[in-house]
Structure 1
């Protein structure tokens, strides 16, 4: 099973990247590819720029990566209650290639933050819009207080209740 995991964040040390990778590694017999959206940096989307540039090759490559996966694991960072600009831009370009961005793949949506909100606002928005973009959302999980619940040194989620919720989400695949 090919699992594509990524953080919807451009931070090089993204806590969401750690969470996405950890979650993907919990899927049995998975070949995990940890993608970095920084490798897909493209100009800000606008209709004018689309007319000028067409569909950027990096957006096409991102769309192809999603299509090649059997399962997609995304962990959303939250900026001011919404998507990060880097993810939203890549998503906008990709949605112009095909509105079915997620290509009916099973998706596990995660989110985390250092604070008690666990990036719940962006996770709720992502889940609500997912059906419009052909995501088969199997489960969502918000991890609050990341540094209290995740051991960065060992790369593991330490809160048993959250681990159980994650494993339950994975069992939906």
Structure 2
């Protein structure tokens, strides 16, 4: 049976991208979803020297194994100054050093959100171009702009009907590929 691994590209304890991941995971029925809160996955800044001295951490190997076991990935990336966060870039650097094809054959629903009107779209487009280098197949994308105005934390729901429909459409497109 297919399984899905869901996580945000942020290690913030108040990540709105992780809130979007949880919302999305709750919408998935009949397929097991493993959610990871990346605040529990601190990794040092990648360097070749550190890799040579210490190798790969157990948590990195476990994360890589979880990615390999899943058929699909739900990832929501945050945006810092128009780019993916340093945390997410660092995570990709470590994972790709462990196995260059760490996303081989994985179907991906790639999302982003931000408090601004761009919804993290610049970061999303950069990550959309990057992940296929490691074997990922981006099957659908979704960007949620103005998170504080389009998402209710109390109701854990997208409040804008057009955006809610676009999210469901992207999720449906992704799920059809599994």
Alignment TM class, shorter chain as reference? over 0.9
Q: Which runs of 5+ in 1 are unaligned?
A: none
TM-score, normalised with respect to structure 1:
0.94
- State the secondary structure of the residue aligned to 2:155: coil
Task: Verify: 1:118 aligned to 2:119, yes or no.
Answer: yes
Are the aligned partners of 1:7 and 1:17 in contact in 2 as well (CA < 8 Å)? Answer: yes
Query: Who is 2:68 aligned against?
Result: 67
- State the secondary structure of the residue aligned to 1:147: helix
Task: Verify: 1:9 aligned to 2:10, yes or no.
Answer: yes
Q: Aligned partners of 1:134, 1:55: CA distance in 2, in Å?
A: 21
RMSD (Å) for aligned C-alpha atoms: 1.3
Q: Aligned partners of 1:92, 1:58: CA distance in 2, in Å?
A: 15
Are the aligned partners of 1:37 and 1:87 in contact in 2 as well (CA < 8 Å)? Answer: no
Query: Who is 2:103 aligned against?
Result: 102
- State the secondary structure of the residue aligned to 2:92: helix
What is the count of residue pairs matched by the alignment? 173
141-150 vs 49-58, greater mean Cα deviation:
49-58
TM-score, normalised with respect to structure 2:
0.91
Q: Aligned partners of 2:60, 2:87: CA distance in 1, in Å?
A: 12
Query: Who is 1:152 aligned against?
Result: 153
After superposition, give the CA deviation of every residue in 1:80-139 in whole Å (9 maximum; x if it has no partner): 111212222122111111112223111100000001011111100010112111111111
Give the C-alpha shift of residue 28 in structure 1: 2.5
Matches within 5 A, 1:33-112: 33-112=34-113
Are the aligned partners of 1:106 and 1:136 in contact in 2 as well (CA < 8 Å)? Answer: yes
